[in-house]
Amino acid sequence: MRKDKGAMARAKVAERRFAPILATGALILGLAALALPARSETVITAHGISTFGDLQLSADFTHLPYVKPDAPKGGELSQWAQGTFDSLNPFSIKGIAAVGSSTMLETILTGTLDEIGASYCLLCSTMEFPEDRSWVIFNLRPEVTFSDGTPLTADDVLFSYETFRDKGLTDFRTIFSQQVAGAEVLDAHRIKFTFVPGEPTRDLPELVGGLPIFSKAHYLANGLNMEEISTTPYLGSGPYVFDKMDIGRSVTYRRNPDYWGATLPINVGQNNFDTLRYEYFADGNSAFEAFKAGVYRFRTETSSKSWAEQYDFPAIAAGHVKKDTLPSGAKASGQGYIFNLRRPMLQDPKVRQAIGLMFNFEWSNKTLFYGLYTRINSVWENSWLAAEGTPSPEEVAVLQPLVDQGLLPATVLTDPAVMAPTSGERQLDRKNLKAASALLDEAGWMAGDDGIRRNDKGETLTLSILNDNPQFDRVITPFVENLIALGIDAKLENVDTAQYELRTRDPAYDFDLIVGSARSSYFSGSELKQFYGSETADVSAFNVAGLKSKAVDQLIEVVMAAKTKDELTVATKALDRVLRAEGFWIPQWYKAEHWVAYYDMYSHPDTIPDYGLGHESLWWYDAAKADALKAAGVLQ
């Protein structure tokens, strides 16, 4: 099973934040600084941009290769979400935003599900940039309108940028203040972003192109504040608009019949459902029963127990509900137990290593997961970017300066990459228990006559695993039992989603261990500072562990500065090697496939793209299949 909960859904929304651009300080530069490039400068005009190499799609492409171009429009896709919500503002740390609350917003550039590191024009028709990518101009499509019919202009882009810069999440304000010098409206449909000299610019045109654009007039007229809870949705230009909600229970978005970009090649065969509905449930069990009852009709399964045992109800047997395993070529999510390194007792790597030895993946996989999962070892698991074995000569060249500075031990140049510990068939592996005991002894946490470990001050070694998903109890409980056997005063602490959100965010960070993700991207850039940078460790919504490492900080800069795919691969492997040695997490598991169950009223393209299921956009409602279900009395 994977950690399936409202917090993760919102984290996904946050990750899809289209890199909201944030900068601080003096951003209105003189006209000379933002002047158009000199004639001698080579300027590229293109329909998109790639981090490395050429774009797969030519400027005259007619549709994405994995869509069904003539997919029918209509029907509803209904899914579930866990917990509750009280806001339609996905860009604030306050409140809990509804799933899909950024659906209405489009970005200047957009990616595809079969190409890594590529972005194509969506709101723009073309983009201009020099070879060094020190600035970019977006030529906006004059036909773009917001869903109320008003035109989207460069002024809206500038306002969106400035709002994110001044009121967006701290992560982005911190990161982009270092990289974006400013933005200037050139005319109603042209806007230029200029980047800070000396900063790596490889990814910056794509990052600012990922800015979500909303209506300036609507924002001001409705008194919106990006930092506050709001039940007024943003006005965007996307194919879907907000329809209705029952706060905390359900939210629905409907397709805009007047969507400006319906016939755009990148949209052909996409956005096929008339409505997207999300029903909220307190826990996975009640959500599963609701699925069986037809309250919602599409389910992405994340529980191995449910997948193996519970899909035997009559509708499955009758063929009314389909259970499919579909391929996925995506890297692993990096799911694991994440330590809160702000806790004094958890700052000792020996303590963290000892705790990690008590999680028995092999027993869990066989006993709890039906052997369906593979262990995660790398932050970039299931990709070519994962560090393997001992460092290559190229990796050594990257790591050597950090060793010379005393930031890393010399062993990092010769030792194999850290791998997750292995355990035996019994829940409590005696070999690992002995090794963990020795580590805690070395760390000064000795076992007393009562078996409880204390330090020389008499303080008890305690550990609480914070959880808001009851389905995960069966996984955490054996882990807690093993920790208790080690002499740790360990417990599982269940809370509701709202409390979980508060306790895992700035400024509280009130937890010892949670289930989360070691985040990563394929072609990583400045987002690594959000995930692992020292500068954001005490304010970040993403660096939940609070990792602070000068070695990691320097390696992030190396990754950002890489100019070729080979250079990036070497730098990423070196960073992966060091992150794994930091021991800020206990890696869990992944599967290279999608588990989906749905009422047999949906269809999908013959080819599922490598890097996403795409069910909300690529799939479609099959009216003939739905009629058959209605005739059978399955649908009303």
Architecture of domain 18-75+105-221: 3-Layer(aba) Sandwich (3.40)
Distance between CA atoms of residues 388 and 255, nearest Å: 46
Would you say the C-alpha torsion 310, 312, 318, 319 has a positive or negative sign? positive
Q: What is the pTM of this model?
A: 0.85
- Locus of tokens 């499955």: 316
| Rounded mean pLDDT, 290-301 | 97
Query: Can you give the pLDDT at residue 28?
Result: 27
pLDDT (tens digit per residue) in 332-348: 999 999 999 999 999 99
| Rounded mean pLDDT, 152-167 | 95
Q: How many CB atoms lie within 10 A of CB 571?
A: 23
Task: Identify which of 121, 111, 116 has the alpha carbon closest to the alpha carbon of residue 60.
Answer: 121
CB-based contacts of 185, cutoff 8 Å, min separation 6? 154, 155, 157, 158, 191
Q: How many CB atoms lie within 10 A of CB 228?
A: 13
| Rounded mean pLDDT, 287-314 | 95
CA dist 195 to 116, 206, 340, 363, 502, Å? 23, 12, 34, 51, 35
Query: Can you give the pLDDT at residue 149?
Result: 98
108-112, 261-265, 271-275, 524-528: which range is least confident on average? 524-528
Task: Identify which of 267, 272, 268 has the alpha carbon closest to the alpha carbon of residue 255.
Answer: 272
DSSP annotation string for 353-380: HHHHHT--HHHHHHHTSTT--EE--STT
At position 511, the amino acid (one-letter code) is: F
pLDDT band at 247 (very low <50, low <70, confident <90, very high): very high
pLDDT band at 53 (very low <50, low <70, confident <90, very high): confident
Distance between CA atoms of residues 629 and 636, nearest Å: 9
Residue 235 has pLDDT above 80, yes or no: yes
What are the sequence ranges of the domains in the chain?
A: 18-75+105-221, 264-330+593-631, 335-590
pLDDT band at 494 (very low <50, low <70, confident <90, very high): very high
Distance between CA atoms of residues 520 and 334, nearest Å: 8
pLDDT (tens digit per residue) in 93-150: 899 999 999 999 999 999 999 999 999 999 999 999 999 999 999 999 999 999 999 9
Is there a common fold for 18-75+105-221 and 335-590? no
- Locus of tokens 């989603």: 497
Q: Please list the alpha-helical segments (H only) found in 496-544.
A: 497-503, 527-532
CATH number of 335-590: 3.10.105.10
pLDDT (tens digit per residue) in 421-447: 999 999 999 999 999 999 999 999 999
Query: Can you give the pLDDT at residue 9?
Result: 38
Q: Please list the alpha-helical segments (H only) found in 524-622.
A: 527-532, 550-561, 565-582
Residue 14 has pLDDT above 60, yes or no: no
Between 502 and 15, the more confident residue is 502
Query: Can you give the pLDDT at residue 1?
Result: 56
pLDDT (tens digit per residue) in 541-593: 889 999 999 999 999 999 999 999 999 999 999 999 999 999 999 999 999 99
